[in-house]
Structure 1
C-alpha cells in the first residue's frame, strides 16, 4: 500500500470534482425538460376545476353562486362573499373558530363543502346583531370580557347561541345523556357543549359567565 502521505488532494481539486458531479446530475434533467412529451405535460398540469351552482340564504339574503365543487363553505363565506367575521383557524374542524349556524344547527364550516347545502339558511356572526343593536350574547361577551385577541370570538358567540337553543330544544349532550322537560344549565353541561371551541388566550371563565348570564335571562 502506498504511503498516505503521497496522496495529496487540494481544496481546489475537491471543488472541481463537486462541480463536475453536480453538472452531470443536472444536464439530464434539463434535457428532459426541453424535450418533454405530451404525456409528461398532461401529468404535470393541474386538473381543471369543476364548477357548480349553489343557492344559499345567508343572514337573510339570498345568494346565487357558481363555485368550485371542492370549495368549503368557510372559503365561500370569506373569499366569495367577503364575510370575514367567520375565521379560519385550524381548517381541520378542531378549533371551532369557523362555527356558523346552518338551518338552525351549528357546524364547522371548514369541514363542509358549499355545494352540499343547496337552499340552506345560514347565519354568521355578521347576522347575529349590529353595532347599534347587539345580540344579547354579543353584549354579554363585551360585559364579561369574554375575549382577549378576539380571533375565536365569532365562533364562540355562534356556538354559545346554538348551545342555549340546543338545551331549550332538549337535544342531548354527552353529559346529559337525555334531557327532561326542564333544560339542564349546569356548569358541566355548558362546558361540555362548548368544548369544541378553543380559546388560546384562555378566556374560558369569562365566556362561561357570559353564557350563563344570557341563559338566566332567557329562562
Structure 2
C-alpha cells in the first residue's frame, strides 16, 4: 500500500490481539479454569480493540482482525468468549463475530430473512442501513462494516447496527415460520426458539451499546 508520504509500505507482520495459544489450552480438559478463562476473555477483547485503535494499524491488519474467525477458527474464539455475558465487551464481540460467520456460511438465508423482517421492524431496518431488498453480498458487506467499525472506530454505533440487524432478522425468522405454517412439534419449536434467540441477542447488544456510550462496557 502507499503511505501518506507517497512511499510504498508493506502490510507488516500481523500482531494478534493476545496469545491465542492460551485460548486453545482452554479447549483441552484441565485447561483454563473459569476465573482464568474470564480474565483471558477480557484481556483479549480489550487487546483487540486496543490494537484496532492504534494509529499505525494498516488496512491489512484491520482486515485480519475482521476475519479472525477464518484464521483462528470459531471454536477457538468460542472457547474464550462464548460464555461471556452479552452486555460485556468479550460477549458483544463474540456476537459480532458469530453474526459475520453466520452470514458467511448462509448469506442467502440471512438476506431473505432480513428482507422479510424489514417489513415489520422498520426502525431497526433504518438503523441497520441496508438497501431493499438486500443481496447476499450486501448483507456480507454490512457484517464486515460493522466489525470494522467495532474494532477501529465507534464501538457503540457498531453495536447499535448489529443489534438492529439481529432484531430485523429475528423478526424475519418468526414471520418465516408463520408463513410456512409449521406444525406443532420439534421443527416449529426450533424455529420459534431460533427467532427468540435472535431477538434476545439484539437486546443484549443494545445494552452493550448503551454501556459503550457510557464508558462502562467491560
Normalised by the shorter chain, which TM-score bucket? under 0.3
Which has the larger strand fraction?
1
Between the two structures, name the one with larger relative contact order (CA 8 Å, sep ≥ 6).
2
Kindly name which structure, 1 or 2, has the bigger radius of gyration based on alpha carbons. 1
Q: Report the TM-score, using the length of structure 1 for normalisation.
A: 0.27
Which has the larger helix fraction?
2
